[in-house]
Structure 1
Amino acid sequence: MALTINFDLQEQDLDYYRQMMQKTQDAVRDLDRTEVLTAARKLATEVRDEVPEFVASRLLQLEQLVNMVEDSDWDLTEEEKLDVLSALAYFAKAEDLIDDRLPVLGFLDDAIMIELVARELADDLKAYEEFCVYRHNEIERRGEQAHTTKADWLEAKRKELHAWMRRRRSEKRSGSGSAGFRSFFSFRG
């Protein structure tokens, strides 16, 4: 029998975690990028099967952040990498708010921190996820030798957007029953 416990963190609660994140970032400022990424990946992979689902799902997000920084095809700028590394710094420190050895609840503070980081970087994570799907589809379509970069993905997104705009324009012209805005003010002669 499972037990469900729900709780809400208010803004003042989240501020406490944000302050903890800032203190940690200051404390680990001297760590190099490899140490930060290794610590985050270690947390994300080593305990995933030993924690409740609400923590495991956040560990997947943590792993995605590490992948995003390490993926040369995604080609983050140095500033973007520093933003993500700064967010991952919490996971490179030795002590936690809640001792990880405490069954079930030991990773609660980590899950909260991951959630805060994921919310802060939600747009970046979504774009990276779309890129990964695009890259996977290109490999399926063109084979393992297909090398797909962020620039390729952005170009495909641009083409997709232009096709969508042309299709919408065409649908509006044919579906309205009138000549349409463009025809009424036509400069085509």
Structure 2
Amino acid sequence: MSLAITIELGDADLQHFIGAMQRAQNEAKHLTPQQVTEAASKLLVDGHKVKLPHFIAERLSKLDSMIAMANDEGFALPEEDRQHVLACLTYFANPQDIIPDNVPVLGFLDDAIMIELCVRELQHEIEAYEDFVHYRKEEAAAHGVDPATLKTQRHEWAEARRVELIERMRKRRGQSYQSSGGWKPVLFTFRG
């Protein structure tokens, strides 16, 4: 038998989590970025040692992506953006979280909620990183190498992505004008 529970957090509830994040950030001021990501990684290791509800396990995988993004030299996240990611990860560097992790079933619930809040805060960064990782895997497969050894830099990814988007634009434009004999500019032309 399973039990489905829906949790709706109101503004006051969210303020509790925001306060916990601010306390964690204050306590983590002395930590290096490496110490923050290592502490967050420890949460992943601890999570794999116990049977977690699906909701929590799913969120922990998102935490793994945030940690990887902060550490990925190939992605070369600009420092200001990296600081945003590290700020989110500081909650997981604090052993005194809202619900102690050793509480059966619920110990990681606060972590899962905080991960979800961080994912919403970092949505665009995470999407860009996932695109980059996908591109790097494709490039590694095309070159027959392990993605971990491929030193794809972000500028190479951006150029490849730009070319891909222009090709997609032309393909879509060609498909939409196929019935009229092809695309020709009608209203706007430029003669240089």
Alignment partner, residue 70 of structure 2: 69
Q: Distance in 1 between matches of 2:45 and 2:39?
A: 10
- Unaligned residue ranges in structure 1 (runs of 5+): none
User: Structure 1 residues 178 and 185 mapped into 2: Cα distance closer, same or farther (>3 Å)?
Assistant: farther
Alignment partner, residue 87 of structure 2: 86
Query: Is the CA contact 1:55–1:107 (under 8 Å) kept in the aligned structure 2?
Result: yes
Alignment partner, residue 35 of structure 2: 35
User: Structure 1 residues 44 and 181 mapped into 2: Cα distance closer, same or farther (>3 Å)?
Assistant: same
Query: Is the CA contact 2:20–2:97 (under 8 Å) kept in the aligned structure 1?
Result: no
Query: Is the CA contact 2:75–2:154 (under 8 Å) kept in the aligned structure 1?
Result: yes
Misfit runs of 4+, over 6 Å: 178-181
Alignment partner, residue 166 of structure 2: 162
Query: Is the CA contact 1:37–1:85 (under 8 Å) kept in the aligned structure 2?
Result: yes
> Deviation string for 1:112-139 (max 9, x for gaps)?
1111111100111111111111111111
User: Structure 1 residues 136 and 2 mapped into 2: Cα distance closer, same or farther (>3 Å)?
Assistant: same
Q: Distance in 1 between matches of 2:86 and 2:182?
A: 55
Matched, 1:96 2:97: yes
Alignment partner, residue 177 of structure 2: 173
Q: Distance in 2 between matches of 1:115 and 1:29?
A: 23
- Unaligned residue ranges in structure 2 (runs of 5+): none
Q: Distance in 2 between matches of 1:6 and 1:127?
A: 30
Q: TM-score, normalised by structure 2?
A: 0.88
The structure with the greater share of residues assigned to helix is 1
SS at match of 1:164: helix
Question: Cα RMSD over matched residues?
Answer: 2.0
Query: Is the CA contact 1:48–1:59 (under 8 Å) kept in the aligned structure 2?
Result: no
Matched, 1:23 2:23: yes
Q: Distance in 2 between matches of 1:21 and 1:73?
A: 29
Q: Distance in 1 between matches of 2:53 and 2:181?
A: 59
Query: Is the CA contact 2:173–2:183 (under 8 Å) kept in the aligned structure 1?
Result: no
Alignment partner, residue 186 of structure 2: 183
Query: Mapping of 1:87-126 within 5 angstroms?
Result: 87-126=88-127
Aligned residues between the structures: 187
> Deviation string for 1:10-34 (max 9, x for gaps)?
2331122112111211121111112
Alignment partner, residue 7 of structure 2: 7
Alignment partner, residue 153 of structure 2: 149
> Deviation string for 1:75-128 (max 9, x for gaps)?
012212111111101111121211211110111111111111111001111111
Query: Is the CA contact 1:45–1:59 (under 8 Å) kept in the aligned structure 2?
Result: no
SS at match of 2:131: helix
Equivalent AA in structure 2 for residue 30 of structure 1: H
Q: Distance in 2 between matches of 1:179 and 1:155?
A: 28
User: Structure 1 residues 185 and 150 mapped into 2: Cα distance closer, same or farther (>3 Å)?
Assistant: closer
User: Structure 1 residues 146 and 108 mapped into 2: Cα distance closer, same or farther (>3 Å)?
Assistant: closer
Equivalent AA in structure 1 for residue 41 of structure 2: R
Equivalent AA in structure 2 for residue 170 of structure 1: G
